[in-house]
Amino acid sequence: MAVEASNTAMVVGSTGLVGRHVVEQLTAQHLPVIALTRRRVADFPDGVEQLLVDFDALMGGAEIPACQHLYVCLGTTIRRAGSRAAFRKVDLDYTVAVAERARASGATMLTLVSSVGANAGSANFYLRTKGEVEDALLGLGFAAVNIFRPGLLTGAREQRRMLEGIAQHLAKVVEPIFVGGLSRYRSVAADKLAAAMVEPEHHLQGTRYWHFADLPG
């Protein structure tokens, strides 16, 4: 196994709603950042190393550079992917392939954006897939694993999702009654989630799960 790259963070899903904030906040901490992307991005912060990748090649065993901490913010929707099979390929197969290659290159820490309700035994296809992703990553031998399970994510996306926009408006009305155990289902701003993900105090060894109620202020 390759020697880990000390302090280097790698972000997959770096152009998405959460991933872009993660990249920005890591660079604000003056950490070296590698962003895995399918295409060149013009407006990343200065100093971000962009690595254009073929995710199918990664599934075939292609190597990636060494890093210490892998941030997985990769995800899509069934509608955007075009089918359940295509959705699983992105959310499960690509995610696991990246994590396997990062671990083989020496990464010891992993932080994942999952979903509230993720459960490999769920009858819901989306939540079942998210649970399967979690279980697969836990078996890869990372010393520190932080799994964030947000509810609805709020913020400006590159590609507008009409149903999410409607849900965000409804959330403002109904979320005040989400107390106690229901508080984990509240929506969370993408930048707030990213801030919690990059917080050094949240990178202790072992496996930890984070919900809305666990996030700071």
Query: Which DSSP helix (H) or strand (E) runs through 98?
Result: helix 95-104
The answer to whether the beta carbons of residues 92 and 100 sit under 8 Å apart is no
Of 130, 172, 192, 209, which one is the catalytic site residue? 130
Angle, CA of 52, 54 and 59, to the nearest 5°: 135
134, 118 Cβ separation under 8 angstroms = yes
Tell me the two tokens of residue 133.
Answer: 């992703």
**Catalytic residue list contains 209:** no
Q: Is 126 a catalytic residue?
A: yes
End-to-end CA distance of the chain: 39
Cα(39)–Cα(152) distance, rounded to whole angstroms?
27
The residues assigned a catalytic role are 126, 130
